[in-house]
Amino acid sequence: MTDIIIRKAGKAGHITLNRPKALNALTWDMCLAIESALDEWRNDADVALILIDGAGDRAFCSGGDIAEMYATAGRGDYDYGQRFWRDEYRLNAKIYNYTKPIVTFLQGFTMGGGVGVGCHGSHRIVCESSRIAMPECSIGLVPDVGGSLILAQAPGRCGEFLGLTGDRMDAGDAIYTGFADNYIPETDWDSLKSELIATGNTDAIVAYPAPDSRLADWQSEIDAAFAGEKLGDIYRAMPADPGPAVSHATKLMERNAPLAMSVATEIIHRVRNGQRIENALDQEFRYTYRCAAQGDFVEGIRAAIIDRDRNPQWKQKSWANVPASEVLRMTQPLGKDALQWEETS
């Protein structure tokens, strides 16, 4: 069985992520195949729109397939992960800048690398099972694949809340924060896909009213607690008698890598001041390029998916006082190793 199904159907270019047993986790080869299809269809007059979906009902895409990154980094080979991220980020920019509509159907889990494929399209559809998250700080990474741009543009300080906690959004939260556009029950999806393929017209997308958002209800509490310039400022702003948002956030943040959370805070703020997908990916790549050799990525993967002991030994022990020098070390420009943007459309 092929990991990805790519075909032209009617007036659509149709891409299906096809690893349902692996929750459609994205491999390097899948990234390259999606990019190749988008390049081929960009000037194809027979293709009016792109449709991207995932096989099975548990996930659109649960993230990147990081087992090989762990294996290679554990041997001191950091080139594999750096090349993977370089190619993946080029794809993320291409999706964001694509000149034809890209319609994505985000059932179940859409996390990490799945956000990079599913949440930069022009028409992002969620349903009652959708759970969208950027949980990278839990494995020593930072929200990447251009996700820092969506976080930076989210209402108030929701971006900091979501990026530092890795909290899972339902459909209502995803629409409220800008990770999705339209709520349509999954029972309507097959007929909608058929109409999109037949007509090539996104007018076929008729959304239902968006569900209520828990994050909207928490907005004022989130804004008060997550407005700090640095992670340590956020730590010190946590109230002694927290409400539901802060209580939920601190439980998640205590598990995450302090260095990653500190860098994530810095990246979201930088991207908020320069809201371009290329800037977001450049800032993210500064960290991911270094994360295996200098950060907590290898230890985070060991604890989460290799040994599964859920007991990572982070380089920084507390998120109260991550040294500014460590953040600078992970976020300084990469020079000749930086991402190149000769072509992103």
Determine contact, residues 11/46, Cβ cutoff 8 Å. Answer: yes
CA distance 152 to 157: 8
Q: Along the 345 residues of the chain, how does pLDDT read in single tens digits? A: 699 999 999 999 999 999 999 999 999 999 999 999 999 999 999 999 999 999 999 999 999 878 888 888 888 889 999 999 999 999 999 999 999 999 999 999 999 999 999 999 999 999 999 999 999 999 999 999 999 999 999 999 999 999 999 999 999 999 999 999 999 999 999 999 999 999 999 999 998 999 999 999 999 999 999 999 999 999 999 999 999 999 999 999 999 999 999 999 999 999 999 889 999 999 999 999 999 999 999 999 999 989 999 999 999 999 999 999 999 999 999 999 999 987 544
Answer left, alpha or beta for residue 165, where phi above 0 means left and psi between -120 and 50 means alpha: alpha
Q: Locate 76 and state its tokens.
A: 């001191």
| Residue 73 pLDDT | 86
Identify the helix (H) or strand (E) that includes residue 123.
strand 123-126
| Residue 64 pLDDT | 86
Determine contact, residues 12/47, Cβ cutoff 8 Å. Answer: yes
| Residue 213 pLDDT | 98
Angle between helix 158-165 and 244-253 (nearest 10): 40
Identify the helix (H) or strand (E) that includes residue 132.
strand 131-133
Angle at 264 between CA 258 and CA 266, to 5 degrees: 110
Angle at 31 between CA 25 and CA 32, to 5 degrees: 150
| Residue 1 pLDDT | 61
| Residue 343 pLDDT | 56
Q: What DSSP state is assigned to residue 338? A: S
Q: Is 3 helix (H, G, I), strand (E, B) or coil?
A: coil
